[in-house]
A = this chain, B = another copy of it.
Amino acid sequence: MREMTQKSFENQSEDNWDLIVIGGGPAGLTAGIYGARSGLKTLILEMMLPGGCIANAALVENYPGFPEGIPGSDLAKRLKDQCEYAGAEIHVMEKSLEVNLQGEKKRVITDNRKYCGAAVIIATGTQQRHLGIPSEKKFQGRGISYCAVCDGPFFKNKNVVVVGGGNSAAIDALFLSGLAKNVKLIHRRSTLRAENALVEDMMSNRIKILYNTEIKEFKGENKLRSILINNKDKDEVREIETDGVFIQIGKLPNSAVAKKSGIKLDERGYIGVDSNQRTNIDGVFAVGDVSVSPYKQMGTAIGTAIIAASEAYGYIKRPYYYKK
């Protein structure tokens, strides 16, 4: 079966586009909106479904324009619709495996097809960082989750723990407090990084915060049953029972395919860009969470996408105007 696909793929003629956007999260979809609106024949390649990480957010409260917040899945749908109304084409469930970005014709090879574009915008986002404890993998999907919205409903009236200290961890803890019987937040530092508004919400939702605390081990038979935690202040290890652990300790950039093609990354693996979102390769831009930027917010991601799509337009349509 795989062979047949491969064969038909080899014989296939090139599929030509002005702009190819790799990744269909908020940044990629925004690049699609701006690319298509400026008249570029624009394709978005998304390995999963449109919306990226925002689609799994229970409630997005800080994206400007939605005073009472909006469920992430609704916002994702709106971005996808807007992108398609603008005239961009979105291919979902199609993974980009290899890119060849040197020269005037940029090639993107997916698990389904070969594409050719005059410019490429990389918007592949990030993935969840794992704790890296040996027993972590064993209980993935058996008590350990990296997405409260996806898996929270399995823990109705149960005891859960959230690990992390930033906005994402706080948002997950708040979301889970509406489902679970008891929610604890475990953070390895003495202060949280989450917004004050979220910290106050956690207080009023009686979410207990364990500071200076790390998980040392996950325990259970087939399913997670308890965790060993270490309080660094007291240097005390104790076991607490829990049905679920939601890990929200940061992200890793999805930049492997870009790196292989010669795009320069910073020391943490994020794609290096200048103030116009240009990478080190002509006609190739990077936007959103996968690009170097100090603040990973949806509002900052869309800003970078607008700049890149506008630059891509300049690069494709007016080479003289486009100042390198």
Residues of B within 8 A of A297 (CB): 306, 310
**How far apart are A64's CB and chain B's nearest CB, in angstroms?**
5
Task: Tell me which residues across on chain B come within 8 A of A294, comparing CB atoms.
Answer: 275-276, 307, 310
The CA of A29 and the CA of B178, in the complex, are separated in Å by: 21
In the bound complex, residues from chain B placing their C-beta under 8 Å from that of A26 are 64
A197 touches B306 (CB 8 A): no
Q: A64-B29, A307-B300, A319-B191 are in contact. Are A39 and B79 (CB under 8 A)?
A: no
Pair A78/B65 contact, Cβ less than 8 Å: yes
Is the Cβ of B299 less than 8 Å from the Cβ of A306? yes
A68 touches B85 (CB 8 A): yes
Residue pair B85, A67 in contact (C-beta under 8 Å): yes
Residue of B nearest to A84 (CB): B67
- Interface stretch (choices A5-13, A30-38, A113-121, A232-240): A30-38
Chain B contacts for A39, CB-based, 8 A: 175, 178-179, 195-197, 199
Across-interface contacts of A318 in B (CB, < 8 A): 174, 197-198, 201
**In the complex the two chains form, what is the Cα distance from A302 to B302 in whole Å?**
9
- Rounded to whole angstroms, the CA-CA distance of A189 and B319 in the bound complex is 12
Query: When A275-B275, A320-B198 are in contact, do A302 and B179 touch as well, CB less than 8 Å?
Result: no
A303 at the interface (CB under 8 A from B): yes
A201 CA / B320 CA spacing, docked (Å) = 9
A224 close to B (CB within 8 Å): no
* Closest chain B residue, CB of each to CB of A30: B64
Say yes or no: is A86 at the interface (Cβ < 8 Å to chain B): yes
A321 and B65 contact, Cβ closer than 8 Å, known pairs A39-B179, A300-B306, A306-B299: no
Instruction: Kindly identify, within residues 278 to 308 of chain A, every residue whose CB is under 8 Å from any CB belonging to chain B.
Output: 294-295, 297, 299-307
Chain A residues 79-129 with CB under 8 Å of chain B are: 79, 81-82, 85-87
**Cα–Cα, bound, A67→B189 (Å):** 41
Give complex CA distance A305, B294 in Å: 13
Contact indicator B65/A171 (Cβ below 8 Å): no
List of B residues within 8 angstroms of A319 by Cβ: 191, 193
A26-B64, A81-B67, A174-B318 known; A196 and B303 CB under 8 Å? no
Known A65-B82, A299-B303; 12 more pairs at CB < 8 Å: A26-B64, A33-B64, A65-B65, A65-B66, A68-B85, A87-B197, A174-B318, A201-B317, A295-B307, A295-B310, A301-B303, A302-B303
